Amino acid sequence: MKRNSFVYLIALLPLLIPGVVRAQVSHGGTPIPFVQTRYASGGLFEEMPAFDLEEQLRADSLEESGLRSGYRFAYKFMTHYNRSNSGSSLTLPDGTRLWRLGIRSRGASSINILFTEYELPEGAQVFVYNPSQTQVLGAFNRLNNSELGILPVAPVTGDELIVEYHEPAQASFPGRLTVGEVNHGYRTLLRGYEPAGDNPQFSCMPSPVCYGGEETFDPIERSVVLLMINGSLVCTGVLVNNASNDGKPYLLTASHCLNENFAITNPDYEKVAGSIVCFFNYKSPLCDTVLRGTEEQSVASASYRAVYEKNDLALLELLEKPPVYYQPYYAGWNIDDKGGKPVYTGIHHPGGSTKRISRTDGALVLTTADIRGTPFSRDVHWLVGRWQTGCTAGGSSGSPLFDAENRIVGLLSAGVSTCYRPENDYYYALHKAWKNSEKENEQLNCWLNPANNAGITQCDGLDPYAGQPCYRLSNIYENRLQEVVEITKLPSPADGNLFGANSLGTNEYAEEYSINRSALLYGAYLVTPSLTEPLKEMEVTVTVYNGGEKPGTPLYTTKFYPTYTNKTDAGDNTFQETEKPLSRSQESFVKFENPVKVSGSFYIGYTIVSPANASFAVYSLPKGATTRNTAWIKYQGIWTKTSAYTPMPFNTSLFVDPAIQYTSGDTSDDEIAQDTPVRIFIGKGEKSLYLVLPDQAETTAFALYSADGRLLHRTTIRGNTATLPLPSIPAGVYIATLRVEAQGQAPLFHSQKVVF
């Protein structure tokens, strides 16, 4: 089996999303300093027994060479530790009951635990931390109570952790808290919980950006998405069109991605489908030097439509239509069983990393081989005997194989190809999965051919926003100069980056764009180098300015706060957003909460607010790369073209790219086209939110959360409009969440960042 999955431990990092997208989060507070209350006697730590690590690694290697079930990193111990049988307890002077439990698993690179009993009274708190308290998770409290009565906790680095429980003297009931699982991390985790970075083993697989002109894979590469399943496995999937062209967001992948390589008997495919996060446009902005791609564009959760394990078929349907600025594409398909013209392209996410291309000009044949360790029938897989470009790897499973007309003919099931030996990969043939069963949930025909047209064998792809698509504008890509971008240093005696913090005191920069009609600006891509400060220690704002001969009035400002989405380890399908680390070169997408109307000339800039010596900058073109200048610097309070910037004058452009959608007309009265029927507007003056909901809305559950996951405001709205005054909310970034209920319809979930 293709190594379809890397295992990622689930982090419970703070940002709460509602309903389908809701998470177990921490709620502030600090534990008692451990050095002040160390116990004189033993009994605090429970020691995990030794296990045969070499045997575990051997078992992992067998899976990787056979079914290749993934990158396993932890050994699970089943436990039953609670206040009555383990740890140490004492009562503090104010009557608070304190319980501490230490867990030690010698040699572990990390430990994570699962509370299999979790129910706390008002005022109680739980913390999990390492003995030095340099890594503290929590507080978790009664807001983390759930119907399941469990609470998973993120990993703590090292081979010791401490659970600390505070219960007030007048608690309404004794808290129920049991540590039922301890996981010993025996492999160093990838940075974790997000798509993977570059891997030298994938060097033979070019990125889509390496192709251009007549040899481009747009739009089909926009149909391919990275899948993170249940927060722990990575595969590839592809959005697929149906013959009715109705825009339903169907998603094809491989069934073994959903059932842990057939290790699960009678899996709950509906639940697994609900756990999926799809990452769109996760691709390197550069070809020669592969960088991490955009992780901010994701859709969480899907519904199960069809699975047939005997040929590896899996068809899902996303719960949400991808928004226009994701630039989604629904690929076409070909169920002709002749194999077609011998030119085929695989597009995939090896190892959960950025999107890659593989190509072969060899004819496809239906293999009669028995793929060992699988339930697959014979004669249902195309064999790619040899790749001329690239190969596949773990995480590529479920990825599409396109024919010469850019239609899907198969999805990756298994294989052994490597860069050194790019041979023998197996794709389940689409025509063999078309109507292999009379059951609707075991075939493709009833979903992709809803009219049951017996003569149909091919379907073209669909851009669901073809009437009004979104475009990425770029002064870098326009002249195919992305491979020469750099971080430009100021000449001596000045010090620092030209487009970052420096000794000349500049901290505001902007990139100029000009369009010939009005448009909606949904956000901007920023390509940045590795930064030394954590995101939480740095404040950078992104601003849109109206046009003219230089940046004018600010139209919109937001914080640069890139995040990614993943599933929590709760027992249901819940999701979280987590801030991206900045310690690597990467591309980030800054989404604007509402589209900004622009026309003619406009500017997108950034300001390094603090600290004054932050390392933040964006890539730009070097001197001599272009004869046209589009970059601006605010020098001594005046916007100045870089070409006229006295300390270092030359023509250049910044790697700041807007995502725009042209409107139907060119007047300021054009209606703003949105992807969702929910509108949230920020009131002027006194802090308030104005909500516009679908006409059929009956009741709407509204909640507002801080960026660290604290619930600040909750209410129920009846009708389709509401004004919510929030005068006590301080300035900052928040998340508004809504669950809209309408009779006879599925609930509508909506979450949106709000900046006061």
Where residue 400 sits, what CATH number does that domain have? 2.40.10.10
The two three-digit tokens of residue 319, written as one number: 């719960």
What sign results for the dihedral spanned by CA atoms 47, 51, 53, 57?
negative
CB contact at 8 A, 186 and 291: no
pLDDT at site 115: 85
Statement to judge: residues 266 and 214 lie in one domain: yes
Q: Which residue has the tokens 């064998």?
A: 457
Whether residues 394 and 501 fall in one domain: no
Q: Which residues contact 369 (CB under 8 A, 6 or more apart)?
A: 378, 383
Q: Are residues 616 and 489 in the same domain?
A: yes
Instruction: For residue 617, give Cα distances in angstroms to 202, 318, 478, 488.
Output: 28, 36, 21, 9
pLDDT at res. 39: 41
SS3 202: helix
The answer to whether residues 234 and 398 touch, using CB atoms and an 8 Å cutoff, is: no
Residue 667 forms part of a structural domain: no
Q: Give the count of beta carbons closer than 10 Å to the beta carbon of residue 168.
A: 15
- Give the pTM: 0.68
**Order of strands across the sheet that contains 688-692:** 679-682, 688-692, 721-725
Is residue 213, in this structure, part of any structural domain at all?
yes
CA 637 remoteness from chain centre: 38
**Encoded tokens for 93:** 């002077």
Distance of alpha carbon 679 from alpha carbon 722, whole angstroms: 11
H helix or E strand, kind and range, residue 152 = strand 151-152
Both 143 and 40 in a single domain?
Answer: yes
Q: Alpha helix (H) ranges present in 393-496?
A: 445-448
Which candidate, 694, 671, 614, 622, places its Cα nearest to that of 651?
622
Are residues 437 and 539 both part of a single domain? no
pLDDT at 669: 33
Residues 636 and 690 in one domain: no
Are 239 and 154 part of one and the same domain? Answer: no
Task: Give the pLDDT score at 522.
Answer: 96
User: Are 397 and 256 spatial neighbours (Cβ–Cβ below 8 Å)?
Assistant: yes
Mark whether 376 and 499 lie in a shared domain: no
CB–CB of 257/4 below 8 Å? yes
The span from the CA of 70 to the CA of 236, in Å, is: 14
**Cα–Cα distances in Å, from 679 out to 144, 433, 675, 736, 752?**
29, 41, 10, 11, 10
Residue 440, phi then psi, degrees to nearest 5: -60, -30
Query: Do 178 and 241 fall within a single domain?
Result: no
Distances from the Cα of 10 to the Cα of 510, 574, 689, angstroms: 38, 11, 33
Domain end position, chosen among 459, 489, 511:
459
Clarify whether residues 254 and 327 are in a common domain. yes
Query: Mean pLDDT per segment of 10 residues, for the chain of length 756 residues?
Result: 34 23 46 55 80 69 40 73 93 90 89 86 91 79 76 76 94 94 66 60 92 86 90 86 94 92 81 85 94 89 92 93 94 82 92 93 86 84 95 93 95 91 94 92 95 90 92 92 95 93 95 93 96 86 92 93 70 65 91 91 96 93 95 96 96 97 55 55 66 81 73 82 80 78 77 72
* Rounded-to-integer distance, Cα 154 and Cα 135, Å: 11
Instruction: For residue 482, give the amino acid letter.
Output: Q
708 is a domain residue: yes
Count of alpha carbons within 13 angstroms of residue 353, beta-carbon side: 22
Beta bridge partners of 543: 557, 605
Q: Domain end: 425, 459, 493, which one? A: 459
Q: How many CB atoms lie within 10 A of CB 637?
A: 6
Distances (CA, A) of 572 to 12, 19, 138, 274, 569: 14, 11, 20, 9, 8
The answer to whether residues 546 and 602 touch, using CB atoms and an 8 Å cutoff, is: yes
Peptide bond into 494 cis (omega under 30): no
Alpha-carbon dihedral 219, 220, 221, 224, rounded to 10 degrees: 130
Question: The CATH number of the domain where 72 resides is what?
Answer: 2.60.120
How many domains does the structure of the chain reveal?
A: 4
Residues of the domain holding 739: 679-755
Query: How many helices (H) and strands (E) are present in the chain, helices listed first?
Result: 3, 46
Q: What is the 3-state secondary structure (H, E, C) of 75-114?
A: EEEEEEECCCCCCEEEECCCCCEEEEEEEECCCCCEEEEE
Question: In whole angstroms, what separates CA 255 from the centre of its chain?
Answer: 21
Does residue 303 fall inside a structural domain? yes
305 is a domain residue:
yes
Q: State the Cα–Cα distance between residues 262 and 313, nearest whole angstrom.
A: 13
Which structure tokens are listed for 325? 């600025």
Do residues 330 and 238 touch, judged by C-beta distance below 8 A?
no
Cis, peptide link before residue 493, omega less than 30° from 0: yes
Kindly report the backbone phi and psi dihedral angles of residue 379, in degrees, each rounded to the nearest multiple of 5, phi listed first: 65, 30
Q: What angle do CA 594, 595, 596 make, to 5 degrees?
A: 115
CA distance 756 to 753: 10
Residue from 453, 478, 216, 479 nearest 329 by CA:
216
Phi, psi of 409, deg, nearest 5 = -115, -15
Q: What is the pLDDT of residue 38?
A: 39
Residues 381 and 256 in one domain: yes
Cα 458 from Cα 337, distance rounded (Å)? 11
* Strand ranges in 371-415 using DSSP code E only, listed in sequence order: 381-386, 400-402, 407-415
Residue 742 confidence (pLDDT): 82
DSSP designation for 411: E
Domain boundary among 162, 185, 208: 185
Could you identify the residue written with the tokens 């009609």?
517
**The pLDDT value given to residue 187:** 55
Q: Are 575 and 565 in contact (CB under 8 A)?
A: yes
**In the prediction, which pLDDT does 673 show?**
39
In a domain, 16, yes or no: no
Do 520 and 649 have their domain in common?
Answer: yes
Question: Among the residues of 521-585, which ranges form H helices?
Answer: none
Query: Would residue 406 count as lying in a domain?
Result: yes
480 in any annotated domain: yes
